[in-house]
Structure formats: C-alpha cells, structure tokens
Amino acid sequence: MKKRAMTTLLSLTLLSGCSGSGGGAPEFKNVSVHDPSVIKVENTYYVFGSHLASAKTKDLMSWEQISSIVEDGNVLIPNVTEELSETFNWAQSNTLWAPDVIQLADGKFYMYYDACKGDSPLSAMGIAVSDKIEGPYKDLGIILKSGMTGVGDDGELYDATEKPNVVDPDVFFDKDGKLWMVYGSYSGGIFILELDPATGFPLPDQGYGKKLLGANHARIEGPYMLYSPETDYYYLFLSFGGLDANGGYNIRVARSKNPDGPFEDSQGQAMIDAKGNPDKLFDDPVYSPYGVKLMGNFEFMNSDSEPAVSGEGYVSPGHNSAYYDEKSGQYYLIFHTRFPYRGEEHEVRVHQMFMNENGWPVVAPHRYGGEKIGTYAASDITGEYKYVNHGKDITPEIVESQMIELTADGKITGAVTGTWSLSGEHTAKLTVEGKEYSGVFLKEWNEAVNGNVMTFTALSEEGIAVWGSHVLTESKE
C-alpha cells in the first residue's frame, strides 16, 4: 500500500484546492532559519535564529527571509565582526548560535545573542539593542561566559559536567511580570536566571542561576518557555538528541506551576533527574524516558489511492519556540526541521497545538494552513488513517506510518488495534494496544495530497504522541 516517487511536494507552493478553514488552498513560502525564536510585533511574526538568520510572516504560512548569515552588511548587526569581536574572540568562533529577541517596557528590542566554539562549551552570551525589530542592533556587552579554565561566572571552578553552556537563551515574562531567561545546551544542563525588567540584564548575585535539568553532557538543549492562562502551567519545551539529519533531534515538553520549577513530565518524573551518564558520553537511553515527546522523525506513507509522493514527514525536528494568541486562544509550535531524502537542508515549520484533557499540549500532524478546530460528528471521523507512533526513544530512524481504520462502531483495526471515541466538539480518546491517549480531532490541509483531511493527535500518560492522517478520498475531502 506504500507509494514513493522521486520527487517531493514539501517545498511546493500549493495554489489550488480547499484550506482547512474552508477557503482556498494555503500559500506556503518557505525559509531557512535554524533554531527559530518567535516574537510578534503588531501584526507580523518574526523569527530569529542561528547564524544571524531571520524571517517574517503575517500568517505563519508565507514567510519572507530577512537575513541569512553572519557577515558585515547583515541588516540586523551591520558591522557584526567588529561589534561582537569580544564574543567571537572568547568563543573562538566566527558565527552566532540561537538568539532570542524580546521587547521591554522602554519599547526597545533586546537581542540575546550567543557564540560557542562548538566542540566545547567555550561560549559567550550578550545583549544587543535596537529601536526597531529588524535592526540595526547595537551591542550592550557580554552578560555570561562559560567553558573557562578556572573560576566561572558563579565564582566556582567551572566544571562542564555540572555548569551550563551559556547558549540558547529564551527570555520571557511570567504571569506576574517578572522577567526570566532560560538557557543551556548539553554540558551541565538547562538553567534559569531572573532578569531586571528595566534593563534586561541579570539581577545580581545569581551566578549561572538555578538548574532545571540536565548534567554530564546529556543531549538536551534549546529550552523555550510558554505560559498557558488556560491551564496555569509553564511549559518548558526542549530538544533531545542531535540536530543533524542523523542526530535523532526531537521535541519534548515538561511543565510546572512556577517559571523556575520544579518541572515534571506527564508521568510525574522530576526533570531535575534527567541527566547524562557520568561514565559514558551521550548515553541517550539514560535520559530518553524523561519529558513528553511531542514529535520525532516520521514519514506519512501515501496509499495507492493518493498522489505518488515521498518525503511527507520530518527528520530531526527541533529547537522550537511557541506562541499563544490571547485573542484567538490558539497555540503555535514554531521549529526548524530536516526532511526525508533531503540531507541537511532545513526549513521553518509551524504547527498548531491544543491542550488535551490532562493539560498537555498535543501537536497537529500537518503544518498550519489557516485551519481552526471545529465541531465534528462521528461520520467525519470514521475511515482509513495513516498512523504514526512517535515513541519515546532518541533515534535517527524514521517512523513510517501504518494503515489503520477507525470504524463506525468505535473500533481501531489494522496495524494496531483498540477503540476510539469522540466527545464534545472534537475531543479524541483512543485506546491503542491497551494504552490510553487523550487529544483532539482536527480537520486540516495535507500538503502532500493537496486536500483537506481529518486528523487526530493524542498523548498517553507515558508521554508518547500518536498521530493519524485520514486517507484522502473524494467522499471525505
């Protein structure tokens, strides 16, 4: 039942058909921004990423590249080699890693930039400021350093197995107006610092701040915090694994009632216990049981009745940011990803998220196409689906979808068996091979088949995500 072709539709702009919200097909224009961190200014979303890359969009579908590489003339920091020379010299690097931009009370935009040697945590993080979101940004100086021989920024001897690598910042306001920065990659783990909301600089006498998780060079990085007024939880998104196409990068989440923790996963496991093996470098199985895994490598395999297409899936999706729209109540996950059969090429993707009955985010199986979740009947749900179980491991293997059917009498048959039910407007409950999953049904645009399909996304208590994408038929479109 599997069909592949030598071409892929992932990069095509689709101009015909029906969108998930009932209008014309969404128009996708893709950009490359590694480690995209989102900020919305007026009616425009911006993402800032590694290598001083950035892009913007008004609809989260059609993107425009603003900047791409670290070089003099980059619109964000036009004289970057001189402006950030102290940072480059310390980190022994000529590029920049994942930044974050936030607007403070003075109306100015503060970019938290960082550089790292790469094969060690020799890193520096600083702040640059601009009157305009698109720059130019002017350096205010370095705020943290790591990787040194001797005493670190906390006044103690720097130990890379316990102290942070000062990269991957995310700066955010909590619900009470306090300003925080969560940061870290591999090395000693993920840390959080409180900042001065007037200046953006760290409050004094914190050193590197408070550790939230990680140690012993566990492959955990890219922290991003999102507060949900719907659940009153702070959600800490993380990327586990390695970022390249063979690295098994995957997106996970934990939550806490407090911005500085303690954080737990859906099994109630304390995330502070998610750390590496002191006797073996990058021992992924030691920390892979921690966190709710939202997305890893996968490919939706089209059926014989659908267009022949290959590569409809992701490889090493990760280093996400997230956005909550207070007006619409919609959540968005913004991340970079590689793709099956396309090597290290990467692009930005946006997917909707929804809170399930247990207060955990579930991610829509297909990229955001303007859809809004609706009220569905059982007759909308029944039929054949391409089914993906994202598991809990950190692996370069691509999970290929399997064929299942959701029958009218509430059964799941095919590659896996169980039961399903629809309650309320769109709440999904599935029992698959004895495990219960909670999530939503959602009709959305499937780029690969150029049409609307019903989908489901759900999570188990073990923190495993399952997705389903309806096989496109004329009667179900």
pLDDT score for 396: 97
9 pLDDT higher than 70: no
467 pLDDT higher than 90: yes
Give dist(CA 99, CA 127) in Å, integer. 10
Q: Which of 35, 83, 139, 299 is catalytic?
A: 35
Q: Which of 170, 221, 265, 447 is catalytic?
A: 221
DSSP H or E segment with residue 212: strand 210-213
Sheet holding 250-256, edge to edge: 220-228, 233-240, 250-256, 292-295
428 pLDDT higher than 90: yes
DSSP H or E segment with residue 132: none
pLDDT score for 474: 57
Q: How far apart are the first and last CA of the chain?
A: 20
Kindly report the average pLDDT of the chain as a whole number.
Answer: 94
Residue 307: pLDDT band by 50, 70, 90 thresholds? confident
Residue 21: pLDDT band by 50, 70, 90 thresholds? very low
Residue range 99-120: mean pLDDT, rounded: 97
pLDDT score for 18: 35
Q: Is 395 exposed, middle or buried (0-12, 13-18, 19+ CB in 10 A)?
A: middle
What is the torsional sign of CA 74, 76, 78, 84?
Answer: negative
343 pLDDT higher than 80: yes
CA angle 182, 231, 196 (to 5 degrees): 30
145 pLDDT higher than 70: yes
- Bigger pLDDT: 11 or 438? 438
- β 179-183/170-173 pair status: antiparallel
- Within 13 Å of residue 28, how many CA atoms lie on the same side as its CB? 26
Tell me the two tokens of residue 55.
Answer: 């892009």
Q: What is the pLDDT of residues 166-175, one digit of tens each?
A: 999 999 999 9
Cα 216 to its chain centre, rounded Å, is 23
pLDDT score for 289: 98
Q: Note whether 144 and 166 are within 8 A (CB).
A: yes
pLDDT score for 27: 96
Length of the chain: 477
Q: Where are the beta strands (DSSP E) in 339-463?
A: 347-355, 361-363, 383-389, 399-400, 402-406, 411-414, 418-423, 427-432, 435-446, 451-460
Q: Give me the helices (H) in 229-300, please.
A: 284-287
Residue 207: pLDDT band by 50, 70, 90 thresholds? very high
Q: What is the pLDDT of residues 261-283, one digit of tens each?
A: 999 999 999 999 999 999 999 99
20 pLDDT higher than 60: no
Q: Where are the beta strands (DSSP E) in 326-410?
A: 330-338, 347-355, 361-363, 383-389, 399-400, 402-406
Q: Looking at the DSSP assignment, which residues form a beta bridge with residue 403?
A: 386
Residue 35 is a catalytic residue: yes
Name the DSSP letter for residue 229.
T
Residue 176 is a catalytic residue: no
